[in-house]
Structure 1
Amino acid sequence: MKQASPLPHYLVQRYQGWKATSYAGNKAWYRRLAEDGQHPRAMVISCCDSRVHVTSIFGADQGEFFIHRNIANLVPPYTPDGDHHGTSAAVEYAVTVLRVAHVVVLGHSSCGGVKGCFDMCSGRAPELEEKTSFIGRWMEILRGGYERTAHVQDDDLRIKALEKEAVLVSLENLMTFPFVRDAVEGEFLTLHGLWNDIGSGGLEQYDAASGTFQAI
């Protein structure tokens, strides 16, 4: 593979600093993780956005979270059609093999993927409607959420509402997976919906009783 290049120098320096400090002070813990395997208590499905730092938000250590990231923290519906399903595979592994106790869907403010969905569904981004657009085809998962926000007239407020719909659509789609539904109904697994305000550091969780997101 001739196109592969060495790491940028700043990343090499950061790695060497980590190896000499964090790793050196916790060698026994890392060796235990390597030998005993992973036993995370929770899976977190979050956005690829570089501003959403899951482990920092929750102060998590290595081995604590099984994390899957994709555009707009979406989970597709259960569709065993033989095609590539990275998110579905991650959910299956977390629930059936790792047997996590919690699956958390973490949405966030200023989500570019959600904004893309809004633009596409409102006719402002025809390029995303092309069959060749991976982003557009992925964001079709959220089209139902876009339709559910039709009552919101202000565009900025609707996009914010759509960010939270991305969390709800993912929670709904998770329940279409038979192994997820069985684990939830058997009380071996709980699902959680969160939305993070990047600028304020705020965190809201979905309250099923009221049907709203409440500040934590």
Structure 2
Amino acid sequence: MQFAKPLPSYLVHRYQGWKATTYSENQSWYRRLASDGQHPRAMVISCCDSRVHVTSIFGADQGEFFIHRNIANLVPPYEPDGDHHGTSATIEYAVTALKVAHLMVLGHSQCGGVQGCIDMCKGHAPELEAKESFVGRWMDILRPKYDLVADIEDAQQQARALERQSVLASLSNLMSFPFVKDAVDKGELTLHGLWTDIGEGGLEYYDPKLEKFLPV
């Protein structure tokens, strides 16, 4: 593999700093995590966006969250077709093997994936319409929800609305997984929809009774 290169020096220096401080001061804890295995209480499905850092938002330590990240924090519908399903496999492992008690879907403001879906729906992103576009085909999961926000004239408000719809779409698709529905029905698992404002540091949760997102 001649194409693989050594780490950039700044990352090497950061690692060495972490090993000499954070790891050194908590060495017994890290060794316990390694020997006892993981027992996270919750799973979080969030966006790949580098500005979204779920462990920072909740002040979580290693071992607390089982985290899966993908474009626009989407969950596909249950389709056991034999193809590659990274997100579906992660959900299966979290629910059936780790038996997490909570499963949170975290959306966010200024989501590039959601904006790409809007652009596709408006006919402004032919590159995403191409069959070979992985991003475009992934955003097809959210595409049906565009009709719910199509009449919103303000571009920013429309994007924020579809970002929240991405969370709801994922929650709905989660319930199409038999093992998720079974765990929810038995009271062994609770689902939570969240949306965070990157710039303001705000966090909202979905209230099913009021059918809207409310500030935490």
Q: What pairs up with 1:1-216 in 2 under 5 angstroms? A: 1-216=1-216
Task: State the shift of 1:121 in Å.
Answer: 1.1
- How far apart in 2 are the matches of 1:61 and 1:36? 16
2:145 alignment partner AA = G
- How far apart in 1 are the matches of 2:60 and 2:162? 28
Task: State the shift of 1:154 in Å.
Answer: 2.2
Task: State the shift of 1:48 in Å.
Answer: 0.3
Q: Alignment partner of 1:203: what SS? A: strand
- How far apart in 1 are the matches of 2:95 and 2:174? 11
1:29 alignment partner AA = W
Moved over 4 A (4+): none
Q: Alignment partner of 1:141: what SS? A: coil
2:150 alignment partner AA = A
| Structure 1 stretches lacking a partner, 5+ long | none
- How far apart in 1 are the matches of 2:189 and 2:144? 26
- How far apart in 1 are the matches of 2:127 and 2:105? 28
**Deviations, residues 6-57 of structure 1 (Å, cap 9, x unaligned):** 0000000000000000000111111111001000000000000000011100
Task: State the shift of 1:153 in Å.
Answer: 2.5
Task: State the shift of 1:93 in Å.
Answer: 0.3
Q: Alignment partner of 1:96: what SS? A: helix
- How far apart in 2 are the matches of 1:151 and 1:3? 48
Q: Alignment partner of 1:17: what SS? A: helix
Calculate the TM-score normalised by the size of structure 1. Answer: 0.99
Task: State the shift of 1:150 in Å.
Answer: 2.5
Aligned length: 216
- How far apart in 1 are the matches of 2:181 and 2:188? 10
**Deviations, residues 88-146 of structure 1 (Å, cap 9, x unaligned):** 00000000000000000000000000000000011110110100100000000001211
Calculate the TM-score normalised by the size of structure 2. Answer: 0.99
Aligned residues: percent identity?
71
Q: Alignment partner of 2:46: what SS? A: strand
- Alignment RMSD: 0.6
- How far apart in 2 are the matches of 1:87 and 1:27? 32
1:114 alignment partner AA = V
- How far apart in 1 are the matches of 2:192 and 2:144? 20
